[in-house]
Amino acid sequence: MKHLLLASTSTVHGSSYLEYLKPAIERFFKGCKQLLFVPFARPGGITYEEYTANAANFFNSINIDVKGAHEFENPAKAVEWADGFFTGGGNTFLLLKTLYETGFFQAIDTAVNEGKPYMGTSAGSNVAGISIGTTNDMPICYPPTFKAFNWLPFNLNPHYLDPLPDSTHMGETRETRIKEFHQFNNQPVLGLREGSWLECHDDTITLKGHLTARWFIQGKEAAELDSGSII
């Protein structure tokens, strides 16, 4: 009885923070009054307070109260207080390491498996997959494992980018990197472009937004999934 909203990015070009997701968020968190924000990925080194204030600014506009995970004495109290969870983007290694070190990993995992809704953007979506092995982020710190929440039966690659046809750069394309991942890992990988998100209710996972997404299965050619696909 999991309820997940997992977006590639919090912000699409030319729009404000979470604006493009607002109707989806209002439906998803209907009945939810108190939201726990997980600021651990904190992009660019902003403080937990600043990052939480950003999120609160958005959610207050739809009448949802927000507290940051760092404001609670312990994860059990935070999770008990919350009707739902939102984990923002930033660095996935830092997010996963901090989730484990603080004990929030286990607490949130249990609550989500029991039905409290969870929303993630970017790094916050990445951790909903089997592992963080398909993150684009720099390994700025060393987590105790790459294993993630395992709520989805596959991995995510947020901010998915198609190869640039005219590029002279010799670094690997995103598709090449995901194929390398499949040399050593057998879970499928969903490349989620900016503007796409997944909604998961119980075991039904639906691709939302107007774009297609790129679906990688070990040993097969990558394929495009249409918006509205059930994965």
**What are the residue numbers of the active site?**
122, 137, 159
Binding of a copy of itself by 187 (CB under 8 A): no
Instruction: Kindly tell me which residue out of 62, 140, 222, 223 binds a copy of itself, with binding defined by CB under 8 A.
Output: 140
User: Long-range contacts made by residues 102-105, C-beta under 8 angstroms, separation at least 24?
Assistant: 102/40, 102/69, 102/75, 103/74, 103/75, 104/38, 104/40, 104/69, 104/75, 104/78, 104/79, 105/149
Binding of a copy of itself by 216 (CB under 8 A): no
- The span from the CA of 138 to the CA of 65, in Å, is 32
Instruction: Kindly tell me which residue out of 73, 165, 168, 204 binds a copy of itself, with binding defined by CB under 8 A.
Output: 168
CB of 82 to a copy of itself, least distance (A): 27
Q: Please identify, using beta-carbon distances, which residue of 2 and 159 lies nearer to a copy of itself.
A: 159
Instruction: Kindly tell me which residue out of 2, 116, 159, 214 binds a copy of itself, with binding defined by CB under 8 A.
Output: 159
Compute the Cα dihedral for 116, 124, 205, 145 and give only its sign.
negative
Q: For 33-76, give the DSSP string.
A: -EEEEE-TT-GGG--HHHHHHHHHHHHHTTT-EEEEGGGSSSHH
Listed ranges 71-79, 112-120, 171-179, 198-206: which one lies at the site for a copy of itself (CB under 8 A): 171-179
- The span from the CA of 165 to the CA of 222, in Å, is 17
Instruction: Kindly tell me which residue out of 23, 165, 169, 203 binds a copy of itself, with binding defined by CB under 8 A.
Output: 169
E strands present in the chain: 3-7, 34-38, 65-68, 84-87, 118-121, 155-157, 189-191, 197-201, 204-208, 213-216, 223-225
Q: Please identify, using beta-carbon distances, which residue of 38 and 148 lies nearer to a copy of itself.
A: 148
Binding of a copy of itself by 94 (CB under 8 A): yes
CB of 171 to a copy of itself, least distance (A): 4
- The span from the CA of 61 to the CA of 65, in Å, is 9
CB of 23 to a copy of itself, least distance (A): 20
Listed ranges 31-39, 48-56, 101-109, 142-150: which one lies at the site for a copy of itself (CB under 8 A): 142-150
Residues that bind a copy of itself (CB under 8 A): 9, 11-14, 43-45, 90-91, 93-94, 132-142, 145-146, 159, 161, 168-172, 176-181, 183-185, 194
